[in-house]
Amino acid sequence: MRLEGKVALITGGATGIGAACALRFAQEGARVAIADINREGGLRTAEACGGHFIECDTGQAERCRAAVAETVACYGRLDILVNAAAHLGGYHDAAAMPEHEWRAVLGVTLDGVFYCAKYAAQAMFKGGGGAIISIASVEGMLGAAGHAAYVTGKSALFGLTRSMAIDFGTRGIRVNAVSPGIIDAGRPDIERLKLDPTVMRFWRDMTVLDRMGRPEEVAAAVLFLASDDASYITGQNLAVDGGWTIGHPPLRLAAKDNEL
């Protein structure tokens, strides 16, 4: 039980990576609060992990403050924050992106992380410390066509992570990020693209491990950074991407040519 006695607040915990983190944390002994705008999914995940659901739009500072306060009121403390909520937006050339979509994506993907971390840190100071982990993305590390707002938001998380790690470190709070690659987590845009064999081949060719990742694999990395096993790690970004970001993709050779 790596999180026995800990209390975790997970934003975006209704589905996908956030839900996988909630379930894994509960298995490891944590009491979990799930904050999400998706009430149906959030209640379902909360029931599955024996946790508490909080309906919350993380793009609003007051709702983030209230989510932290409700978590503390429910469980008496806060030890871990996982920022998994994000707004994907659509796919547009940057010159054609609607201004309202730019602001909406950044409002959740970046501003919401700051709001939640700000108020969570205040609660953690009172408890003697904690851990904050934000879900970034390989798109933030590399860039992506037609996704300027999302890429910008995720890229900015690296600077925010380092800055908060410096600000909070002497008060016992570690701050890190995890950058997933292509994860088969039920995201609507990924589900659509999975129907295209060319896209699927491209995704596989861009990873050393030759497959999509699973939400549970990202949750395992988040668990590590939230646990005492990572007690001397802060300000870092851990890519969980099957090798996407380590260099050029491998050359897929025919089996007979690939034998040594």
The token pair that represents 161 in the structure block: 């992570």
Report DSSP letters for 159-226, one per residue: HHHHHHHHHHGGGTEEEEEEEE-SB-S--HHHHHHTT-HHHHHHHHHTSTT-S-B-HHHHHHHHHHHH
Q: Tell me the C-alpha distance between 193 and 2, whole Å.
A: 36
Question: In what helix (H) or strand (E) does residue 239 lie, and over which residues does it extend?
Answer: strand 237-240
| Amino acid at residue number 83 | N
Angle at 107 between CA 143 and CA 40, to 5 degrees: 105
Query: CA-CA distances (angstroms) from residue 3 to 24, 72, 120, 196?
Result: 10, 17, 18, 40
Both tokens assigned to 131: 């851990």
DSSP 15-49: SHHHHHHHHHHHHTT-EEEEEES-HHHHHHHHHHH
Residue in 75, 115, 150, 232 annotated catalytic: 150
Residue 91 bears catalytic tag:
no
Residues acting as catalytic residues = 150
